Amino acid sequence: MTTSHSIAFETRGPVRGSCGHRHPDVESALRCLRDDQAACDATGAFSDRQIVPIHHAPRGERLAVIQALHEAEGLYLEGAAMAALQRLDNLPEIQALADVVDVAEVQRWINRAAVRIRRESSAGPLPPAPVAACLRAAANIIARIG
């Protein structure tokens, strides 16, 4: 049985992505969707967002992914770029969080970090801030859904 505390809503589309926040009910999600549609209409664009139910993921699953992202960031900042890349390649299953977070957005941030790490291995040291920022962004997306 689903209680009002275990389900919320967001607006999400394959191109526009997530609205980035939880709505406690369908009515507030609908207002958000209408606001997004109006903003897109004003610029001549199209909003592909829809209202999507989101559920609480088991805390352990969310924390495992977040911890792995922080471990990869720490490895990278310590100068172990290849170990960080290997950690990213062996993340816990992110798809298990599909009902909770915008998995595509999380994966984009992880991929950005991995591309930068791979580029560093062929081009020499790069500033660490972009990689760390990408990994933190991925972890923050998962963490914001509580």
Burial class of residue 6, CB neighbours in 10 A (0-12, 13-18, 19+): exposed
Q: At 50, phi and psi to the nearest 5?
A: -135, 165
Render pLDDT for 78-111 as a digit per residue (tens, 0 to 9): 888 889 989 888 887 776 666 656 677 788 888 8
Helix (H, G, I), strand (E, B) or coil at 39: helix
Q: Which amino acid is present at 25?
A: D
Q: Does residue 125 register a pLDDT over 60?
A: yes
Q: Does residue 40 register a pLDDT over 80?
A: yes
What the block records as the tokens of 16 is 């526009």
Ordered by start, the domain boundaries in the chain are: 7-55, 59-143
Cα 46 to Cα 79: distance, rounded to the nearest angstrom = 43
CB atoms within 10 A of CB 115: 12
